[in-house]
Chain A
């Protein structure tokens, strides 16, 4: 099995291009520029150099001995994207797209951000390559990820708060799209997940697929065989598709995406699109979407800002339809417990997003003796310290 979109950007029925006509020509221009860059050895070698010497690739594949022993089942390996420059996998995509923007002659880059990791990575590459940078961020997210707001500003980006709707990632994307519609000639929209109109889901996936390519080599070196299960958290789904992609043809390797189960099963209490969502169109793509009976987009909840989004990336919907990947959910509480446990026994403080993947590994491992798991540790938890402090008040009183 392979996983490539058709010429119109469709993964099966999902994906496509659903944007206002004003954006269609820029999107066609972007697609053409990307397809040319993808074939260009000079582009690829500049990107490879930056990934290695600026971002810090390859990232280690670390055997989590203590977690493995504590759970007494599967051997658990962590793909350490959290060790990358800026603290998460997001930099892979930002470097790729920023080089593309330079190649296209753009001078201004805009982006949306939820947890702030994509915003920080975008601000970073804009500082590096000399772009003007505006990052749209929901005001709710600005409050819960204050540290990242400051980091972006220190890197020279303008952080534009968005108060409409739920004031989270979805609204930040809408506002970035409105900026793009208005400033279409000079502006490059650096979308941060495997979402939106074609070519974004394919392009963002391509810039992250190095995660799985490295992990595949590393696990073969370390264990002498392929893993049994890959586990990654899924908001839009960029770190998950990055890990999964190189393994899609390996049909014996189980792919598990972990959505945000939030604090309950009712619409509005979670961001698990495969639990109560239905296919629909939002912000450029057709995919599984949390919506009400009238087609209005539902509010979502997750303790993790990076997973708090109503739609899942179209390639994930297609992988699920074909039973190539399965999607489960971890609750806020499970993710918080997993973060605390990993910190305590491995000395690794994960991002709240990545903690959802760790939570699923903790659930599955005891019954999986003899199996090998790779968990994508997509980001580090420094940005989440305010939330961890609020949730673990007893640690402040010691």
Chain B
């Protein structure tokens, strides 16, 4: 398999390592509450200290997502968000920011847009990589080749249920970083993190030198602190999306988002 030249994602993890820092990865659904609003929300997250942005492309049937992200996808679809809309949002973000951007979605909207066409257009829009929740490594070869040809990273998930054999495949197909799922279950916030993270981190470390990020259920600075000791980056999704949902009509949303990002990021200080 060809490896892409280093993207902004690869460069981010190099610089984090050089500075002995950890990364905060922030997810939001592009187009929620409206496509017009997304670039400003991303800018607020970046000001608050987000190191990488996952741009969720809404899908009508998100089997891996809990109710919070399901609802945000419904709002984004209702607001007319399509793959083309999200690429437009990425271009807008890229016009003023160098923050790494990862497309996060399901396979069907990508197949419909066209693998080759998406790889071309995403690279041109300044996207750095892609994560498809329902693309198992067994079915991913064509997708991975198309993305890599256009210099995009392909991030795959490793789960507490993944066997050593599967972890090897996930590591082999991933570039940029490997995304570890903290627990079994759908996306969503929870109070305490499963003890299954540590063995998973160890198993994936044994299979790859790539940086590791942990996500699913992370919503507080304490979670960030706890996981920051084990991996290079943590992902926060539903907690951001819930804040956006509750404050969609509030003109102070951007300020709140920036403050919440900063608060989460401060968790890393506690883990140093």
Contacts and interface: CB of A to CB of B under 8 A. Distances in A.
Query: Which of B70, B139, B163 has the most CB atoms of chain A within a 10 A radius of its CB?
Result: B139
Interface in A282-304: 282-284, 286, 289, 291, 293-297
Nearest to B71: A164
B134 to A, nearest CB: 5
B109 to A, nearest CB: 4
Contact of B161 (A8, A16, A26, A286): A26
A18 B139 contact: yes
Contact of B162 (A24, A181, A286, A297): A24
A256 B240 CA distance: 50
A18 B112 contact: no
A173 B181 CA distance: 22
Contacts of A16: 138-139
Given A18-B134, A25-B161, A297 B108 contact: yes
A384 B265 CA distance: 57
Given A18-B139, A21-B136, A294 B83 contact: yes
B159 A174 contact: no
Interface residues of B, number: 39
Contacts of A181: 63-64, 184-186
A21 B162 contact: yes
Contact of B134 (A20, A25, A171, A178): A20
Contacts, number: 116
B166 A24 contact: yes
Given A280-B111, A295-B108, A18 B66 contact: no
Given A8-B138, A295-B108, A21 B186 contact: no
A interface residue count range (under 10 / 10 to 19 / 20 to 34 / 35 or more): 35 or more
B27 interface: no
Contacts of B134: 18-20, 281, 284
Contacts of B136: 17-19, 21, 24
A17 B138 contact: yes
B61 A25 contact: no
Contacts of A174: 61-63
Contacts of B133: 20
Contact of A291 (B62, B82, B108, B166): B108
Contacts of A289: 108
Contacts of B111: 280-281, 295
Contacts of B108: 280-282, 289, 291, 295, 297
B60 A297 contact: yes
Contact of B109 (A26, A171, A296): A296
A182 to B, nearest CB: 4
B161 A184 contact: yes
Query: Which of A165, A177, A178 has the most CB atoms of chain B within a 10 A radius of its CB?
Result: A178
A35 B109 CA distance: 33
B184 A296 contact: no
A170 interface: yes
Nearest to B64: A20
A183 B108 CA distance: 26
A129 to B, nearest CB: 25
Interface string B47-71: 0000000000001111110100010
B185 A21 contact: no
B159 A21 contact: yes
Query: Which of A18, A25, A164, A184 has the most CB atoms of chain B within a 10 A radius of its CB?
Result: A18
B107 A18 contact: yes
B122 to A, nearest CB: 15
Nearest first, the 3 closest Cβ-Cβ pairs linking A and B are A295-B112, A295-B109, A182-B185
Interface of A: 8, 16-26, 28, 164-165, 170-171, 174, 177-178, 181-185, 278, 280-284, 286, 289, 291, 293-297
21 contacts: A8-B139, A16-B139, A18-B139, A20-B133, A20-B134, A21-B156, A22-B159, A24-B159, A24-B162, A25-B163, A25-B166, A170-B61, A178-B63, A181-B64, A181-B184, A182-B186, A184-B184, A278-B112, A280-B111, A294-B109, A295-B112
Given A16-B139, A184-B184, 13 more contacts: A17-B136, A18-B136, A20-B157, A20-B159, A22-B64, A24-B136, A24-B166, A25-B163, A183-B184, A280-B112, A294-B109, A294-B112, A296-B77
Interface of B: 59-64, 66, 70, 77, 82-83, 106-113, 133-136, 138-139, 156-163, 166, 170, 181, 184-186
